[in-house]
Amino acid sequence: MPFIKYLKCSRCGRKYFLNEKPVMCKNNDLGRLDIYYDYEGIKDAVSREELSKRPFSMWRYYEFLPLSSKENIVSLGEGGTPLIKAKRLGEKLGLKNLYLKDETRNPTGSFKDRAMSVAVSMARELGFTKAATASSGNAAAALAAYGARAGIDVIAFVVDFAPYGKIAQLLFYGAKVFRVKWTTAEDPTVKMLKLVVEKYGFYPSPSFGPFNPYQIEGPKTISFEIVEQLGWSIPDQVFVPTGAAALLTGVYNGFRDFNMVGWINGYPKMVAVQSTGNAPFVRAWVEKQDPMNIRPWEKPPETIATGLEDTFPWDGDAGLKALYSTGGYGVAVEDDLILESMKMLASLEGLFAEPSGAAGLAGLIQAIRDGRVDKDETVVVLVTGHGLKDPDIVKKTAGDAPVINPVEEEFVEKLREFYKVVL
């Protein structure tokens, strides 16, 4: 049995128990059902020593996840991603201990696989056969992949400007995909998600809290892995690309869980990074807004980081708690700095990230400029999505390669002209 005491609505406080098969609060459509665990039971069931004998994947941390039976796990090998010591990038930025958590290694190319592995596993356990999502692309692709694995039909509502690289994934996985036009501040994909959930009984599975309490448990395994990979120590700061603030909340919850079972003592500063073209969460932190009444972004997002374009941070209340309780902060960055970060990750460390995936590094660079990072601190940057997710942006920024005939003269000429290299 899972080590869950109950689920509790973050807005109205209503409690639910797992045998009720809860997915959304019946009283408040903004209320996230937070899961409360029996940490004493977890401590009795598993130890650090026992953990070290298991395969290094997300489901290594089974006791910290909400499933009742391992037979219902739907997995494609997610998690167990490398924590890379970024020596060259660290030298360029003046940091001695910079690490990159490379989530591009997940099966569909982003950290959303962790969320959707848990969400689809719970859909199977709860008896659902059809699911729906609202997404900029990555969460939908992950849901479609795990849905295909589990035999669950998937409807995906994505924004009309979602990159085709993400659309192609969805179509190949067999999802029914709908591009939804975005003309007002309200996210139209969420509007359609609500419709099919309420009217047609679909299992809601976006990557933010109020519509599915289980998916947020997947990303917390990122923190579990970071702690283990650092030899059971805690980094000083963790930079998290932030949209709805679900990833930020999940990563914080991972450090919380390990603290609660006594395996670590303390937290890193949690740092939320958004684009200046869509920064409702960072603005809420700067303005010290009421966590329960965060002001939505007033217009459609204007950023190349399409994976971070939530105009309302659905998990913003928990995200602000993560910042406040760890002494963390928010950073808003320009798109030009995100593009620069993409190039730095690729050229210095060999990591190919989409704009949203590189936003964490952009946030670190801005934080260094603002004097918020000490050179001796241990810093972890989450690289959340693969560059092939957004080939259009890549082509615009990287350009194309010159075409030559197979002769030395043209090679030497174009080498000098395009790459500024003289032999």
The full DSSP string for 36-64 is: EE-HHHHHHH--HHHHHTS-SSGGGGGGG
Quick check: is 343 in a domain? yes
Quick check: is 270 in a domain? yes
What span, in angstroms and rounded, lies between the C-alpha atoms of 59 and 17?
23
Q: Torsion over CA of 367, 373, 375 and 380, rounded to 10 degrees?
A: -80
Q: Token pair for residue 207?
A: 């990557």
Quick check: is 261 in a domain? yes
Helix segments in 27-156, DSSP class H: 39-45, 48-52, 87-93, 112-126, 138-150
Q: Which residues of 74-104 are buried (b: 16+ CB within 10 A; e: fewer)?
A: bbeebbbbebbebeebbeebebebbbbbbbb
Quick check: is 51 in a domain? no
Q: What is the pLDDT along the chain (423 residues), one digit of tens a residue?
A: 689 999 999 999 999 999 999 999 999 778 999 999 999 999 999 999 999 999 999 999 999 999 999 999 999 999 999 999 999 999 999 999 999 999 999 999 999 999 999 999 999 999 999 999 998 788 999 999 999 999 999 999 998 888 787 788 899 999 999 999 988 878 899 999 999 999 999 999 999 889 999 999 999 999 999 999 999 999 999 999 999 999 999 999 999 999 999 999 999 999 999 999 999 999 999 999 999 999 999 988 899 998 898 999 999 999 999 999 999 999 999 999 999 999 999 999 999 999 999 999 999 999 999 999 999 999 999 999 999 887 777 777 777 889 999 999 999 999 999 989 999
Q: How many independent structural domains does the chain possess?
A: 1
For residue 69, with 0-12 CB atoms within 10 Å meaning exposed, 13-18 middle and 19 or more buried, which class applies? exposed
Quick check: is 378 in a domain? yes
Quick check: is 384 in a domain? yes
Domain that holds residue 348: 83-108+216-396
Kindly list the strands in the beta sheet with 130-135, ordered across the sheet, starting from the edge strand earlier in the chain.
176-180, 153-159, 130-135, 203-204
Q: How many CB atoms lie within 10 A of CB 68?
A: 14
Quick check: is 381 in a domain? yes
Helix segments in 261-407, DSSP class H: 280-286, 316-326, 335-349, 355-369, 391-398
Residue 1: per-residue pLDDT: 67
| pTM of the predicted model as reported, rounded to 2 decimal places | 0.95
Give me the CATH number covering residue 265.
Answer: 3.40.50.1100
Quick check: is 118 in a domain? no
For residue 308, with 0-12 CB atoms within 10 Å meaning exposed, 13-18 middle and 19 or more buried, which class applies? buried
